[in-house]
Structure 1
């Protein structure tokens, strides 16, 4: 959308009208493929830009997104083509450098993983130790605050508030114990079809918000409230947005504690027990003599020597060969790849519009030559003789004599 002013022309009298219509169909997630085709062709015909190649390419790319959106691809329809690579580049850019070695990359990668683990534990602690603020006394909202994380509960709360005053039912049909309701959304000026099964409490809406994002839409919430549902059903909750999405083993000094674990790893359980024994033993040694601490240290070192026998110091090449599990070949058969110009490399050509914006954003200063506030100075002034009157002669004092010097730049007669 940033290129629309250049491709269409921001100086045209109908530019604002064209931009408003184009935004209405580009950012509308409720349009299906047929509606998108009809409205796009109508806008292109009204403003006579159907033959422009750039708009044709935009139409094909956007239509592919709409087709994926209509197929109910879970979490895939809202992802752009380059979103995954851009996210990876933004994350690893802080920890790697083009001149770094492989070992440095592994160390920085581990630091990045540690940062993610720290943020995960911090958010888990906030979700467990605090409760979000409720906006109503509805049982459905209270149950959502118990199930969802704080960030997702805010989005659920937004959908709940939106459904209270803007909806009305235009029709109800019962087909094979499934209630098909037509919900009129006055805020979007559209009608949505909601299918609801009173037995299993399973509901689906034509807006497909749950299939795309894993969150109940305001239309389904309105149907739930109308049918007296006070607790979110399991089929209407995506586990990835709940507080129990990350479940594992918690280690403490008094032994392992399991928090809602489905399957327990035996090795991880034994490691947790070992850590508990180590912490308990160190606590006991706090009241013992120095010899007991030295005896335990010697036992640990002997056991460590059995597990990992000490070896001679290795060179850098030998350490890499041991890490990779193979020896370096003396004959180079694979040359380094050619440097390719990928997206983001090289220098971008700055347009004249960007140059003008950059110059206009700079503060003006006084030119000592033309005595005006401008973006130039005395050295690059476009009018070098602006305020300099032609001097006919100059007078100098040398001792007790006055010397009169005529200027060569005499005005023409």
Structure 2
């Protein structure tokens, strides 16, 4: 099983055909060709092996229920089934505050601390300034590997496109052949046959090797996935929501400018927090600017809740909305349609109206049957 796990962990860097070859070699080596479970798992390999959906952008984020199970475990440490509602709410808020604390700490570390730069390359320094701390360490590992484990064995150039054949000496991938990287210098477009950027949103070591060999010093902006950047999560303390204006591509520069302003304010406050005098001067200047803005926008109408919700959802409010009752819809375990649950009190009232049942053998209106009838017991004794 450990061999199969190793093959799965390295399947992000190989093609589907190479995975099939490696799988078959393992089955032959350990005589597992007749094992039903392995045969069933191989039949559905396109649903769980990354090599089969590498061309799907950010498909490396696809996982099973491990994330929800992790959340359940985290909340299970602070809650249990014996808690009252008040206690559960208190424990739930404690768990949420713990997660918020870790998020704020990670955001602070990413924005206001500088990770150690190893290679001294400008492309690494720009990655440290752009990506969050965790993602940067992944990028830094790939940059280091591009210098230590990769080398070019063949270069072909035609029509402005340069194709590199890269040999990766990493022990986990060296037996899977070479990697082909295409590079267009005119617009700094680079793509690798391992499809790591499409899989995870981060460039691979082979692409970093080609960029370095081609004299590219700056990190290509087109390969910066916004979801991995430091400013992807808006600051809740700002009170500003980016949904207050249209979300088309024409306003991306405007959004970037807004994020830069928030970052600058947050950065200045964090730097001046230990100097009370300078912090007071900064607050005074901000108040003066705020007063000027308030005077200039005094007559501007704020966005209503309806307009705000419409801008978030991208829809307009209709004059008339018709909602039809669904027909033939029932939840699992709800019982037959148009049949409601009857309580114990109502059941007792209905049974009382029916009256007692008359037993034919003894002729009495009592609640018994042939087995519990006392008249039958007396007759049996005399017999």
TM-score interval, normalised by the smaller of the two chains: 0.5 to 0.7
Residues 49-72 of structure 1, C-alpha deviations (whole Å, 9 max, x = no match): 211223223433545323664343
Pairing partner for 1:112 from 75, 92, 95: 95
CA–CA distance in structure 2, aligned partners of residues 231 and 143 of structure 1: 7
Answer 1 or 2: which has greater strand percent: 1
Residue aligned with 1:115, SS: helix
1:168-317 to structure 2, matched below 5 A, reads: 168-174=151-157, 176-187=159-170, 188-189=173-174, 190-248=177-235, 250=237, 261=258
Deviates more, 1:167-176 or 1:100-109: 100-109
Residues 275-333 of structure 1, C-alpha deviations (whole Å, 9 max, x = no match): xxxxxxxxxxxxxxxxxxxxxxxxxxxxxxxxxxxxxxxxxxxxxxxxxxxxxxxx972
Task: Detail structure 1 runs of 4+ shifted over 6 Å in the superposition.
Answer: none
Please name the residue that 2:279 is paired with: none
Shift of 1:163: 1.1
CA–CA distance in structure 2, aligned partners of residues 41 and 181 of structure 1: 30
Question: CA separation of 1:84/1:149 partners in 2, compared to 1, >3 Å: closer, same or farther?
Answer: closer
Question: CA separation of 1:75/1:103 partners in 2, compared to 1, >3 Å: closer, same or farther?
Answer: farther
Residue aligned with 1:261, SS: helix
Residues 321-362 of structure 1, C-alpha deviations (whole Å, 9 max, x = no match): xxxxxxxxxx97299xxxxxxxxxxxxxxxxxxxxxxxxxxx
Structure 1 stretches of 5 or more lacking a match?
2-18, 253-257, 265-330, 336-413
Aligned residues: 247
Please name the residue that 1:333 is paired with: 341
CA–CA distance in structure 1, aligned partners of residues 256 and 206 of structure 2: 35
1:113-132 to structure 2, matched below 5 A, reads: 113-132=96-115
Please name the residue that 1:27 is paired with: 9
Question: CA separation of 1:81/1:33 partners in 2, compared to 1, >3 Å: closer, same or farther?
Answer: same
Please name the residue that 1:342 is paired with: none
Question: CA separation of 1:333/1:27 partners in 2, compared to 1, >3 Å: closer, same or farther?
Answer: same
Please name the residue that 1:367 is paired with: none
Q: Choose 1 or 2 for highest CA Rg.
A: 1
Residue aligned with 1:193, SS: strand
The two structures, once aligned, show a CA RMSD in angstroms of: 3.4
Higher RCO (Cα < 8 Å, 6 or more apart): 2
Answer 1 or 2: which has greater helix percent: 2
Please name the residue that 1:404 is paired with: none
TM-score normalised over the length of structure 1: 0.52
Question: CA separation of 1:114/1:50 partners in 2, compared to 1, >3 Å: closer, same or farther?
Answer: same
TM-score normalised over the length of structure 2: 0.56
CA–CA distance in structure 1, aligned partners of residues 43 and 85 of structure 2: 42
Question: CA separation of 1:57/1:218 partners in 2, compared to 1, >3 Å: closer, same or farther?
Answer: same
Question: CA separation of 1:97/1:249 partners in 2, compared to 1, >3 Å: closer, same or farther?
Answer: closer
Structure 2 stretches of 5 or more lacking a match?
240-254, 262-338, 344-383
